[in-house]
Structure 1
Amino acid sequence: MEGNLTKGPILKTLTKLAIPIMASSFLGTLYNITDMAWIGLLGSKAVAGIGVGGMFIWLSQGFASMARMGGQVQVAQCVGRGDKKKAHGYAQAAVQLAAIMGILYAIVALIFTKQMIRFFKLEDPEAYASAFIYTKIACGLIVFSFLSVTLTGIYTAQGDSKTPFYANLIGLATNMILDPLLILGPGPLPKLGAAGGAIATVTAQFIVMSIMILGIVKQKKENVLKGISVFEKIPAEYLRGICKIGIPTALQGMAYCVISMVITRMVSAFGAEAIATQRVGGQIESISWNTADGFATALNAFIAQNYGAGEMGRVKKGYRASQWTVGIWGLFITVLFVCVPRPIANIFFHEPKAIATAIDYLIIVGFSEAFLCIETTTVGALSGLGKTHLCSVISIIFTSARIPLAIILGGTSLGLNGIWWALSSTSIVKGVLFVIVFQWVTRTKKQVTA
């Protein structure tokens, strides 16, 4: 296999795997930030519309995570046990499931686009039009994204994080070139606005997927993805194995998105600037959580392989090393958001009211960034142990608490800032709780395997 994560120095092994994944996650953040920076030149109404459309992209990632997480954990555990046949079977089943779910999601989104957007009660015609066209294009071709994230997970499960990184790097370069050309239409090119942003993103996702597929064909080394067929019937054994791990993760992701949609509807009462701030603020914030998610993906593969091999000592040491790394990064983002929010807000907003709203958002959520990073990484670690159901229950319960908390705090003199505090405070609680849960789970595992 590309990388055996059950041997060698723990920190070196984990870091070697994690750095390309973190870089890939950071590139994913740049995808979104690049879109928002260019769209920002069209005004906060266009940003608000794309923010609403982006919610449905986010929701799709919850569905996609079922095949990605289920495939990644099962493949990594099989690799750790040395069972190459089952690793190949799980890889094929995950890719097939991703393709089927991506196509089904696209069909539903195309049929019910108007109903989906109406949920947010967008009053402004410009914001509504941007949301409509962006959702049509980006969700209509979402299958490329589904396949990209699933292939990334399976590459990572084998210890190969470089191929997805190079694929995402080329995809980002494509996106950065296409964004200004398609969104703003310089010279003789047509100004496509929101549609241009969606086309640029979908094109980049197609390129990322294609490069990873090409990598399977070109690689001379053994790869569990070699020889897979999308058209074969998925064996029930592999489908059950993927669903057992993947469904709780998918439910967690979708619930998180639905909760955010409800909160976005509350935010919409404060105007288009408030919606734009939430959307753009979330993308800026993804500098911390997307990077942490990259490390969590590496840790997930590391822990899954070592757990499969019965190396619980390496599991615990790998987790501790990861938490130090992401914790320091989270603290750095906290300092950045709390101390210098205005320069960050000025990149994306050009109206005084929108800038002021964004500054408040960055300061308030800034206090939770280190906890958010720790939570994300710990979820990856617990998922590597197969405890996705436990992660799902904890995450859904405490993320759901944001809704009543936002209603209570938003109804006080804090107003919109009360909603931001609901987001920040629950992230802090989840960060602390997940660490406690991981310590409990690993103690139990030690007793069982002794």
Structure 2
Amino acid sequence: MSGPGGKAGGGKARGRRGDLTSGPILPTLIAFSVSTLLSSLLQTFNQSISLIWIGRLLGESALAATTNGNTVMSLLFTVLTGFSMATMIRIGFHFGAGNERAARRTFGCGIGWALGVSMVLAAAGVVFTPRLLHLLGTPPAAHDQAVHYLRVLFLTLPLTGLSSTVAMASRGAGDSRSSLYGTVVTLVTSVVLNPLLILGAGPLPRFGLPGAALASGLANLAGICVMGVVIWRPGAPLRIPAYALRWFLPSRTELAYLLRNGMPISLHLLLAVGAQLVMIGLVNREGLNFTAAFGVSMQIWNYMQSPSFAISAGLTAMASQAIGAGDHARVGEITRTGMMVNTSVAAVLAMTILVLIRPILALFFGHGSPAIPIGVHMQSICIWGFVLSGLMSAMTAVLRAYGVQLANVAVNLVSVYFARLAFYFLTYPLLGADALWWSFLFGTAVSVVLIRIVFVRGGWTRLGDEARQPASITAG
């Protein structure tokens, strides 16, 4: 592999708590990723439980409404995720260089910025909810429920954004457990509140579908409180002292970095979610059962992607600390290990899901639902795209740590919006609805080829050295 490489440098972070710059690559990656994986799986499990309650208590139309609402929400959440990931990378640079004070300054800036942006997005979302659902072509039977559900989700967006930023920031400092603790509390709270708020109990009124969105927001609040207690414990690497509360107001230097790197990451993720929105719109044209099957399939794919997400987050955190320590040779080893692990895990999961797909779908819909055979066929084609994307995710994670953001955006734009949509429209007269599923697989294959071309260009060592310069300066 001719990607990142160079002479190993002396990392200032070596031997400290949260140090990811030393030790064997594979055990370090696995140990770091396990907590992140458990967090991701629990988050997805939480969403699945909510969908099961919605499907069993409120029916297919409510599931279709949830699918459209969650997709719109994902579009805005990716904006916050981009800044959260930039915060994680910046903290990794500082931590790798041994500058915990600067890491805390970045953490404060990330929190303040996330809250401000999420509040603006939430307000705009509440106003434009009907218009967004109209653009999606939401089925009439699901439209009214989707409006109420999505508006409640928008109101809870600041909590979701804050949770994401805190979790990402702690990973940049080599701590993947804090987010796990918060996720466990979030899951337990959601499991308890979902049926209570959907159906009503005692003094609680029957909220119906919006109750599921309210339960999600309250569960996130509980998780944030737990993560806050862990991160603010005495001696924690990201604890901001009382005299430095002004750090929550974004400084020009830190905010400039978050904008320069966070906006391209957000754009990259927005393109992916935007493609999902396009996909939802095309699926909606096939009817309610296709939409419901696609919504549940997305939940299954979330499980499929959870290990990849966890490993990629570990790769970015490890690579950013290694870059901060000036150890580019270690970054190359991290990349090769990540590609191997990501692809192997995805292949095993794909085969397991295909064996169990029918009973899994029956869990959501009940036996005999017309959406089940649609979902089975859909999975048999689409799921292999996630095996291919394991390779892409590993390379993208490392490029992201080096600040190579716009190349990732270009690859996503070409593969998803040109290759995938061109394949769909050219083959739809021949394949019908199957053109949707095959276009997904084709677009993923194109993205893997393109990101590989970007990666082997090399030259990322220079960018890494430029990126780590501010890490050696103590933030004021």
Shift of 1:334: 1.9
Letter in 2 for 1:410: Y
Structure 1 residues without counterparts, runs of 5 or longer: none
Report the 3-state secondary structure (helix = DSSP H, G, I; strand = E; otherwise coil) of the residue aligned with 1:411.
helix
Offset of residue 152 of structure 1: 0.8
Note if contact 1:334-1:370 (Cα within 8 Å) is conserved in structure 2. Answer: yes
Given candidates 300, 305, 309, the residue that maps to 1:289 is 305
Say if 1:103 and 1:142, in contact at 8 Å, map to a contact too. Answer: yes
Structure 2 residue 384 is matched with structure 1 residue 367:
yes
How far residue 224 of structure 1 moved from its aligned partner, in angstroms, is 5.3
1:259 and 2:272 aligned: no
User: Could you say which residue in structure 1 is the equivalent of 2:103?
Assistant: 87
What is the match of residue 471 of structure 2? none
The change in CA–CA distance for 1:314 and 1:356 in structure 2 (over 3 A counts) is same
d(CA) in 1 for partners of 2:318, 2:345: 20
Question: Which residue of 2 is the match for residue 163 of structure 1?
Answer: 178
The Cα shift of 1:106 comes to: 0.6
CA contact (8 A) 2:96 2:322 kept: yes
Q: Does 1:106 align with 2:119?
A: no
Task: Report matched runs for 1:8-407 at 5 Å.
Answer: 8-41=23-56, 42-125=58-141, 127-185=142-200, 190-223=205-238, 225-227=240-242, 229=245, 233-350=249-366, 351-401=368-418, 402-407=420-425
CA deviation after TM superposition for structure 1 residue 435, in Å: 3.9
Whether contact under 8 Å (1:138, 1:198) holds in the other structure is yes
Counterparts in 2 of 1:373 and 1:130: CA distance versus 1, 3 Å: farther
The match for 2:22 is 7
State how far apart, in whole Å, the 2-side matches of 1:176 and 1:298 are.
28
SS in 1 for 2:123: helix
- Relative to structure 1, the CA distance from residue 230 to residue 358 in structure 2 (aligned partners, 3 Å threshold; closer, same or farther) is farther
Q: Which secondary structure state, in structure 1, belongs to the residue aligned with residue 370 of structure 2?
A: helix
Partner Cα distance (1:364, 1:301) in 2: 33
- Which stretch of structure 1 is more off in the superposition, 353-362 or 330-339? 330-339
Q: 1:363 to 1:122 in 2, by over 3 A?
A: same
Residue 426 of structure 2, aligned match among 408, 432, 439: 408
Aligned residue in 1 for 2:470 = none
Match of 2:261, SS?
helix
The Cα offsets for residues 289-341 of structure 1, whole Å up to 9 and x where unpaired, read as 13211111111010000011111221121222222222111101221343442
- After superposing the two structures, state which structure 1 stretch, 327-336 or 175-184, moved more: 175-184
> Secondary structure of the residue that 1:375 maps to in structure 2?
helix
Inter-partner Cα distance in structure 1 for 2:241 and 2:375: 47
Instruction: Tell me the distance in 2 between the aligned counterparts of 1:256 and 1:29.
Output: 18
Contact 2:323–2:464, Cα closer than 8 Å, also in 1: no
Looking at structure 2, the residues matched to 315 and 108 of structure 1 have their Cα atoms a distance apart, in angstroms, of 41
2:334 maps to a residue whose letter is G
The separation in 1 between residues aligned to 2:310 and 2:248, in whole angstroms, is 31
Deviations 1:253-298 (A, max 9, x none): 1122222212211211111111122222111111121321111111
Residue 426 of structure 1 aligns with which residue? Answer: 443
Aligned residue for 1:119, secondary structure, equals helix
Root-mean-square deviation over aligned CA pairs: 2.2
Report how far residue 236 of structure 1 moved: 1.3
Q: Report deviation, 1:104.
A: 0.5
Superposed displacement of residue 363, structure 1:
0.7
Closer/same/farther in 2, CA of residues 188 and 101 from structure 1, 3 Å limit: closer
Q: CA deviation at 1:218?
A: 2.2
Q: Distance in 1 between matches of 2:306 and 2:134?
A: 29
Secondary structure at the residue paired with 2:256? Answer: helix
Cα distance, 1:446–1:9 mapped onto 2, change above 3 Å? farther
Amino acid at match of 2:214: I
CA distance in 2, matches of 1:225, 1:430: 41
Q: Which moved more, 1:82-91 or 1:107-116?
A: 82-91
Residue type matched to 1:214 in 2? V
Sequence identity (%): 23
Kept in 1: contact 2:54–2:62 (CA 8 A): yes
1:321-362, CA deviations, whole angstroms, 9 ceiling, x for partnerless residues? Answer: 222222111101221343442122212223532111111111
Partner secondary structure for residue 346 of structure 1: helix
Q: Matched residues in 2 for 1:409 and 1:445: separation?
A: 43
Q: Which amino acid aligns with 1:343?
A: P
The amino acid across from 1:403 in the alignment is: L
Q: 1:238 to 1:25 in 2, by over 3 A?
A: same
Structure 2 letter corresponding to 1:287: Y
TM-score by length of 1: 0.93
Give per-residue Cα distances to partners, 1:47-68, cap 9 Å, x unaligned. 0001111012201221112320
Aligned residue identity for 1:150 = T
TM-score by length of 2: 0.88
What letter corresponds to residue 283 of structure 1 in structure 2?
Answer: Q
Q: Distance in 2 between matches of 1:367 and 1:276?
A: 21
CA distance in 2, matches of 1:221, 1:74: 18
Report the Cα distance in structure 1 between the residues aligned to 2:199 and 2:441, rounded to whole angstroms. 35
Tell me if structure 1 keeps the 8 A contact 2:138–2:281: no
Task: Give the match's secondary structure for 2:18.
Answer: coil
Relative distance call for 1:417 and 1:83 in structure 2 (3 A) is same
Cα deviation digits, residues 369-421 of structure 1 (max 9, x gap): 21122322322221112212221221222111322322223332x21121111
Q: Flag the 1:169–1:16 CA change in 2: closer, same or farther, 3 A.
A: same
CA shift at 1:165, angstroms?
0.7
Kept after mapping to 2: 8 A contact 1:410/1:418: yes
Structure 2, unaligned runs of 5 or more: 1-15, 466-476
Cα 1:411/1:260, change in 2 over 3 Å: farther
Q: Kindly indicate whether the alpha-carbon contact (under 8 Å) linking 2:304 and 2:350 is maintained by their aligned counterparts in 1.
A: no
